Amino acid sequence: MSLLQTMLTHLDSPVCEPSQQAAPPAENDSSTPEPDLFVSTDLDTAQFEWAVTSASDVEYNGKIYRRLEPEYFAWLRSRMLAAQSAFKAGKLSESTWESLKSRFNPLQEYAVQKFGKEDLQQASRQLSPQNYQPPRHVPANPEKPAEPPKNNWIYPPNEAWNCIEQVCSDALAKVDAIKEEAMSQKWSEARLYQNQGRYRFPCGQDYGLVCFVGGDRKIGAVTERYIEIIHSPDTPRPSTLRFHNPDVSQPWLKKVESNHEH
């Protein structure tokens, strides 16, 4: 159902008759600031003294209201223009169109008084109705998984080692992003992607980079000798570890030559 149809459906409902609608606030000489006006998509208006200043959307009695700002008014006006076109084309009854106007016209007068014509006209010019996100119901506490779901990644794909470490899709994406750069610096595919080992993870040197970059960890500098793994990068105290490449010479590895006496 389109948002215009939703608007019209509410207008046909007895709980949304104009008599139930709060009138836009009048001039007030009191030093106490007037509460902001909130408007639903079916042009019902309300004021909530308890609304948090930063809150743009408020749910009340099962309906979502949005704080009236120039951009939101421009979107509501675009809905009215669509309704007007439907009325002129004979797709909207006169009674429904009049009901819409009886709600919108006082709202428009209030918006002009509060924001000024220039700001409203600018908002209308800049509005993209297709990309605007209108008020909608959002779960109060949406459940989020602790980390992305596991997948069936196995490397080497045609071998069966003693142990397998599951990896997340986001870890694979992180390694994919630096694969070309790493392999140009003498990193093998196995060192990047292997998740099978002779011993349980993280023991041994069989497991590749992909097993170490899940969760909030990010990949930093990529060099021939090591790749940086940044833990908690978005916190005040991130830490950086180095994932070393055992296939190239490292400063701490020295070749030991044995001397034999003859």
Q: What is the pLDDT of residue 218?
A: 92
**Per-residue pLDDT of the chain in tens (262 residues, 90 and over written 9):** 444 444 444 444 333 333 334 445 445 454 556 778 899 988 999 887 765 556 688 888 888 899 999 999 999 999 999 999 999 999 989 999 999 999 999 999 999 999 999 999 999 999 988 888 888 776 555 555 554 555 688 898 888 888 999 998 889 999 999 999 999 999 999 999 999 999 988 888 899 999 999 888 899 999 999 999 998 777 777 788 889 998 888 776 655 554 544 4
β-pair partners for 148 = none
Q: Measured between alpha carbons, how far is residue 220 from residues 51, 165, 179, 194, 202 in Å?
A: 43, 22, 13, 20, 21
b/e sequence 183-218, b meaning 16+ C-beta within 10 Å: eeeebeeebbbbbbbeeebeeeebbbbbbbbbeebb
| Alpha-carbon gap, residue 228 to 245, rounded angstroms | 11
Q: What's the predicted TM-score (pTM) here?
A: 0.45
Task: Read off the DSSP letter of residue 34.
Answer: P
